[in-house]
């Protein structure tokens, strides 16, 4: 009986240690502790061009992370990208005329959504749409614009 | 006729291989059918989790710690050249949770516990213990193989999780403790880049699959061994080799399915 009991205790300790390790991986290593799925509220923003924005990209205001990009869809009627942003429930005072931009972190970094607050006294709620958006800057388009302007100046 | 002889040899080899695959699947079905009979007797399962899991903890813990430390050391020297040593945490954790944790754990368990299972079952067969059980109207598959199989399936993900956790801690010790990477950046970059469902759960699924495959191969090789001393030794070798090949091959397929877009 004694050996069976020791075995059982050791197996119990082993399984507890295994689950503890899984818990560690979930909470400390992955992003489960930060903004779990389904928390917070959703905002919808339509962009003419989202560049290379990815799902799970950060959404920030004043450089502070408020949430993340939940999904990206394509609206075939308007030929626009429909980006769903999941904002943490703690930040529920974004004005209705908030402005959404797509910026790039660093020169070659990943793209993220930056929100600039407006002045409206009303706040955005779950499922609301952000009216003012600015597309991602596409490098080729900027260079093309620059060359075009340059050529125009030369011909004048 | 040389040509027909060669063809006959090829055919025989093919048929033998196919028959082996068939026997392996029949055995797996018989093992899984034995699960309801196992549930009222958890003692049998606990004893096998002890054999496969608890007794493997030491080698898993030491390997995990050292693999993580080496990753931290090597990763630091490469990332340092690009001034990106803050990403060390991401590199260490992603490679451990996605690949090295499940795969190295499976290889170690195949060597440490799988070979022991094969030798045990093979010897039971060689000394006619399995036949003796059958004579007492006890199904040897249900009584002997089923607890070992499910013990392996339960132990593997837990061992892989321990491996990954200790690896991350080893990488943290080397990176933050010895090489001076910023503690906050190490953890925050890791947390922002690793997703729970995408990375951690997929790693657990991988190790679960490896647990099934390693236990299955080990038990089949033992059960199917030629009941002689030479047969058991061959079966033990085959068990480790086949398990390692299956784990590495399956890892590629699973990675392609999980992380390929």
A107-152: pLDDT as tens digits? 666 788 899 888 888 888 888 888 888 888 777 888 888 898 988 8
A51/A127 same-domain check: yes
- The verdict on residue B167 lying in a domain is yes
- The verdict on residue A102 lying in a domain is yes
A73/A28 same-domain check: no
- The verdict on residue A55 lying in a domain is yes
Residues of A in contact with B166 (CB under 8 A): 21
- The verdict on residue A99 lying in a domain is yes
Q: Report pLDDT for B217.
A: 94
Q: Report pLDDT for A2.
A: 64
Residues of A in contact with B54 (CB under 8 A): 10-11, 13-14
- The verdict on residue A154 lying in a domain is no
Which of A19, A28, A31 is opposite residue B192, by nearest beta carbon? A31
A105/A28 same-domain check: no
Name the band, by pLDDT with cuts 50, 70 and 90, for residue B21.
very high
CB A63 within 8 A of CB A118: no
- Cβ of A15 within 8 Å of Cβ of B47? The answer is no
Domain region containing A20: 1-33
User: Cα(A1)–Cα(B103) distance, rounded to whole angstroms?
Assistant: 37
User: Cα(B223)–Cα(B87) distance, rounded to whole angstroms?
Assistant: 48
- Cβ of B54 within 8 Å of Cβ of A28? The answer is no
- The verdict on residue A16 lying in a domain is yes
A87/A17 same-domain check: no
Q: Report pLDDT for A106.
A: 65
A71-110: pLDDT as tens digits? 889 989 989 999 999 888 888 888 888 889 888 876 666 7
A136/A116 same-domain check: yes
Phi, psi of B94 (to 5 degrees): -65, -45
- The verdict on residue B248 lying in a domain is yes
* B80 and chain A in contact, CB less than 8 A: no
- Cβ of A22 within 8 Å of Cβ of B46? The answer is no
| DSSP string for residues in B196-229 | IIIIIIHHHHHHHHHHHHHHHHHHHHHHTS-SSH
A25/A54 same-domain check: no
- The verdict on residue B189 lying in a domain is yes
User: Cα(A110)–Cα(A103) distance, rounded to whole angstroms?
Assistant: 9
- Tally of structural domains, chain A: 2
pLDDT of A56 higher than 80: no
Q: Report pLDDT for B112.
A: 92
- The verdict on residue B198 lying in a domain is yes
CB A49 within 8 A of CB A135: yes
User: Cα(B98)–Cα(B26) distance, rounded to whole angstroms?
Assistant: 32
A77/A98 same-domain check: yes
A24/A46 same-domain check: no
User: Cα(B148)–Cα(A132) distance, rounded to whole angstroms?
Assistant: 62
- Tally of structural domains, chain B: 1
B75-125: pLDDT as tens digits? 999 988 887 877 888 899 999 999 999 999 999 999 999 999 999 999 999
Domain region containing B104: 34-259
A13/A84 same-domain check: no
Percent of chain B having pLDDT more than 90? 64
User: Cα(B101)–Cα(B247) distance, rounded to whole angstroms?
Assistant: 12
């Amino acid at each position: 009986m004694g050996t069976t009991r020791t075995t059982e205790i050791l197996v119990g300790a082993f399984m507890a240690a295994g689950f503890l390790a899984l818990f560690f991986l979930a909470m400390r290593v992955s992003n489960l502790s930060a903004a779990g799925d389904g928390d917070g509220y959703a905002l919808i923003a339509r962009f003419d061009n989202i560049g290379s924005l990815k799902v799970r990209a950060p959404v920030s205001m004043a450089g502070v992370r408020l949430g993340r990009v939940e999904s990206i869809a394509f609206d075939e009627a308007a030929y626009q990208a429909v980006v769903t942003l999941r904002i943490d429930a703690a930040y529920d005072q974004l004005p209705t005329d908030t402005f959404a931009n797509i910026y790039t972190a660093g020169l070659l970094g990943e793209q993220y959504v930056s929100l600039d607050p407006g002045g409206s006294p009303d706040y955005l709620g779950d499922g609301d749409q952000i009216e003012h958006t600015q597309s991602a800057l596409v490098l080729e388009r900027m260079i093309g614009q620059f060359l075009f302007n340059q050529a125009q100046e030369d011909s004048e | 006729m040389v040509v027909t002889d060669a063809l006959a040899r090829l055919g025989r080899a093919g048929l033998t291989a196919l028959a082996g695959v068939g026997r392996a699947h029949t055995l797996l079905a018989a093992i899984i059918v034995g699960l309801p009979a196992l549930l009222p007797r958890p003692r049998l399962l606990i004893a096998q989790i002890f054999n496969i899991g608890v007794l493997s903890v030491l080698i898993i813990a030491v390997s995990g710690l050292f693999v993580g430390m080496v990753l931290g050391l090597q990763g630091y020297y490469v990332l340092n050249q690009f001034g990106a040593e803050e990403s060390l945490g991401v590199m260490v954790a992603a490679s451990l949770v996605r690949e090295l944790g499940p795969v190295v754990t499976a290889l170690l368990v195949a060597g440490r516990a799988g070979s022991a299972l094969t030798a045990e079952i093979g010897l039971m067969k060689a000394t006619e213990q399995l036949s003796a059980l059958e004579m007492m109207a006890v199904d040897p598959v249900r009584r002997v193989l089923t607890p070992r199989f499910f013990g392996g399936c339960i132990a593997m993900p837990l061992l892989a999780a321990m491996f990954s956790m200790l690896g991350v801690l080893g990488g943290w010790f080397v990176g933050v403790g010895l090489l001076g990477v910023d503690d906050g950046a190490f953890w925050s970059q890791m947390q922002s880049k690793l997703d729970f469902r995408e990375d951690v759960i997929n790693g657990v699924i991988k190790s679960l699959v490896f647990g099934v495959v390693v236990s299955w191969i080990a038990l089949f090789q033992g059960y199917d061994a030629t009941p002689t001393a030479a047969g058991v030794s061959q079966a033990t070798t085959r068990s480790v080799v086949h398990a390692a090949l299956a784990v590495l091959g399956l890892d590629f397929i699973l990675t392609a399915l999980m992380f390929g877009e």
